[in-house]
Chain A
């Protein structure tokens, strides 16, 4: 009596192909996910930072950084508050990243408005969905 399994080699090859996702697909997946996070962070800034000093400046200066790769994190990118702001409240100029940090954590006499953690919470699932969509498109090719 013989027991024959056919096609395992093909399945193994298919899995190897799936595992070897090209860098450009990783970049597209990260791009799609970070686009969602930029939008969520901007929306959270627009809704949570409204107050007497609000100008909307921070919400309009959020972008994704360049694609990076490290042994610890693999491929990743940063979401950045870029540039400096100079206005009547910051006559000597202030980094937007600093303004975002102080809003997120507050300081003595200034309550925290953690818009970044709210954005991360709101965007985590849609960001993964956006990346997955790119991956599934790649698999269809």
Chain B
């Protein structure tokens, strides 16, 4: 399963829109995720794994009680195989914006190229 799908599956129980990078729809409550990929665990000058530096963003209006949701998001992401996320409150005048930062790894399957 790809990292995108793993994140989407982990957040599926909330039934909110979940998009990569940015959301241009009309919902006020939604998830957005993004990541950077760092090659890691080198052997013979070649990486064995990709390490994903991930962010999941939860946007909601200020009227939304996000305390329980934030706790659940962190546990769901941990259960999906990621590191337990750090939580940052990046809210502004437009509403709540909670950022969850965590890491994930993915084995580099070199068969993909030869297939």
Chain A contact residues, CB within 8 Å of chain B: 101, 105-112, 114, 117-118, 121-122
Contact = CB atoms under 8 A, between A and B. Distances in A.
Contacts of B34: 106, 111-112, 114
A87 to B, nearest CB: 21
Interface of B: 21-24, 32, 34, 36, 38, 53, 55, 57, 59, 88, 90, 92, 94-95, 97, 99, 101
Contact of A111 (B22, B88, B99, B101): B22
A112 B55 contact: yes
Secondary structure at chain A's binding surface: helix, strand, loop or mixed?
mixed
A97 B32 CA distance: 23
Contact of A105 (B24, B38, B99): B99
A68 to B, nearest CB: 22
Contact of A114 (B24, B36, B59): B36
A121 B21 contact: no
B32 A105 contact: no
A105 B32 CA distance: 11
A124 to B, nearest CB: 11
Contacts of A106: 22, 32, 34, 57, 90
A105 B90 contact: yes
A101 B90 CA distance: 9
